């Protein structure tokens, strides 16, 4: 998702916390996962002996939501179906058609972490430290389901994928969901939701699944309980198509590391030139940006737009700089080319941009 992505919603849209035909209440689904609670040392035992977690840092969170029926209802104006590509694998795995869904949501969380481990060498036991990255992906389908039919589809999917006659395993029941697991994937199935979690080694997908279910059933442990998550989602409203992200503050240094790797690994004679080039590319309105969320509410040939930009500090949130950027990027190839009724509100650490655009200019 572009940090300057379009967004769409109006005052008629539901407030966060109310699932409806305009999309999911993301604060009831986006989860604040704890890396240390998901970390499974046994998963690393084959590669590293006596591995211990020394520290971790969340480097990014992304989410996407879509109401499939809204895409079908506006297909002549949207022209393309790519908004439904997100979640297509889960729909196929669960045997669920897009036309049968109320909405679907995906969330991705990424971390960097450091472990210590021991190895036997010719002069004794040595302790080493190693930095790695890991991620969790959570996909959720909402609708009306027959859990038995979904279970059968999951069993068929597992049978087709298994190279060693491994089968889908039942992991009991949790908060009204039937739980299943297969090769690093965990599934939760109820009459209203199908949730799938996949995680990279050494994270426990089943533990992450239960955390996601907890947010939905108890409203505890959600991303909205974190400082940045609350600040971003407080200005966000559900819509037919939406996405968002949280990340490290946008600075010259962070952009260099994001694009080129650890700045300390770049030779000094190249660093000054690289910093100058990145400085030129980083627009003033982006400096200090730590997150964004956007939503589109389709209405035939026009779409309501609602964009939220979250900054590290209030002083970074400069409405004038954002307005200047939008107004200077109005060519037909730019995302704001057809925007009307443009307004930008200053809400503490966030800037909220709203307006109305031609639907065909969006996708």
The predicted pLDDT at position 271 comes to 74
Q: What stretch of H or E contains 291?
A: strand 289-299
In a domain, 275, yes or no: no
Tokens 């297509």 found at: 88
Q: Using alpha carbons, select from 177, 296, 293 the residue that is nearest to residue 246.
A: 293
Q: What is the pLDDT of residues 191-233, one digit of tens each?
A: 999 999 999 989 999 999 999 999 999 888 999 999 999 999 9
Helix (H, G, I), strand (E, B) or coil at 194: strand
The predicted pLDDT at position 121 comes to 77
CA-angle at 84, arms to 78 and 86, nearest 5°: 135
In a domain, 29, yes or no: no
- pLDDT surpassing 80 at residue 27: yes
CA-angle at 345, arms to 340 and 347, nearest 5°: 155
In a domain, 188, yes or no: yes
In a domain, 146, yes or no: yes
Q: Give percent of the chain with pLDDT exceeding 70.
A: 93
- pLDDT surpassing 70 at residue 318: yes
In a domain, 158, yes or no: yes
Asked if residue 350 has a cis previous peptide bond (ω within 30° of 0), the answer is no
Radius of gyration, CA atoms only, the chain: 22
The predicted pLDDT at position 7 comes to 33
How far apart are alpha carbons 360 and 363 in whole angstroms? 6
Give first-to-last CA distance, the chain, whole Å. Answer: 13
Domains identified in the chain, total number? 1
- pLDDT surpassing 60 at residue 17: no
In order, the DSSP letters of 217-234 are HH--SBGGGSHHHHHHHT
Q: What is the pLDDT of residues 31-61, one digit of tens each?
A: 999 999 999 888 776 677 778 889 999 999 9
In a domain, 93, yes or no: yes
The predicted pLDDT at position 353 comes to 97
How far apart are alpha carbons 1 and 4 in whole angstroms? 8
In a domain, 125, yes or no: yes
Domain that holds residue 159: 34-53+81-106+113-220
Max CA distance (Å), the chain? 73
The predicted pLDDT at position 11 comes to 31
Q: pTM of the prediction?
A: 0.88
The predicted pLDDT at position 331 comes to 80
Chain Cα centroid distance, residue 353: 21
In a domain, 346, yes or no: no
pLDDT: which is higher, 137 or 334: 137
- pLDDT surpassing 80 at residue 311: yes
Helix (H, G, I), strand (E, B) or coil at 146: coil
């Amino acid at each position: 998702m572009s940090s300057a992505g379009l967004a769409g919603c109006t005052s008629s849209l539901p407030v966060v916390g109310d699932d409806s035909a305009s999309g999911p209440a993301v604060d009831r689904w986006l989860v604040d996962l704890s890396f240390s609670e998901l970390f499974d040392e046994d998963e690393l035992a084959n590669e590293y002996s006596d591995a211990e977690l020394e520290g971790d840092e969340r480097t990014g969170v992304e989410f996407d939501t879509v109401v499939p029926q809204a895409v079908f209802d506006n297909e002549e104006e949207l022209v393309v179906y790519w908004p439904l590509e997100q979640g297509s694998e889960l729909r196929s795995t669960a045997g669920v058609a897009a036309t049968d869904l109320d909405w679907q949501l995906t969330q991705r969380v990424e971390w960097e972490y450091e472990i210590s481990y021991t190895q036997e060498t010719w002069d004794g036991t040595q302790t080493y430290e190693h930095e790695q990255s890991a991620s969790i992906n959570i996909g959720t389908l909402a609708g009306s389901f027959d859990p038995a039919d979904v279970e059968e589809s999951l069993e068929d999917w597992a049978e087709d994928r298994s190279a060693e006659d491994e089968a889908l395993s039942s992991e009991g029941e949790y908060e009204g969901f039937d739980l299943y697991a297969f090769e690093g994937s965990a599934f939760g199935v109820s009459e209203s939701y199908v949730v799938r979690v996949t995680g990279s080694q050494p994270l426990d997908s089943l533990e992450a699944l239960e955390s996601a279910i907890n947010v939905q059933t108890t409203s505890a442990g959600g991303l909205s309980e974190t400082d940045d998550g609350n600040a971003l989602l407080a200005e966000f409203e559900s819509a037919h198509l939406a996405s968002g992200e949280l990340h490290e503050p946008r600075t010259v240094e962070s952009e260099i590391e994001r694009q080129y790797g650890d700045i300390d690994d770049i030779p000094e004679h190249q660093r000054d030139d690289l910093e100058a080039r990145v400085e030129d590319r980083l627009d003033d309105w982006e400096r200090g940006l730590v997150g964004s969320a956007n939503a589109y509410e389709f209405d035939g040939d026009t779409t309501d737009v609602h964009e939220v930009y979250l900054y590290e500090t209030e002083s970074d949130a400069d409405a004038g700089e954002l307005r200047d950027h939008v107004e200077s990027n109005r060519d037909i190839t730019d995302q704001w080319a057809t925007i009307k009724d443009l307004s930008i509100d200053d809400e503490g650490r966030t800037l909220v941009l709203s307006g109305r655009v031609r639907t065909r200019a969006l996708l």
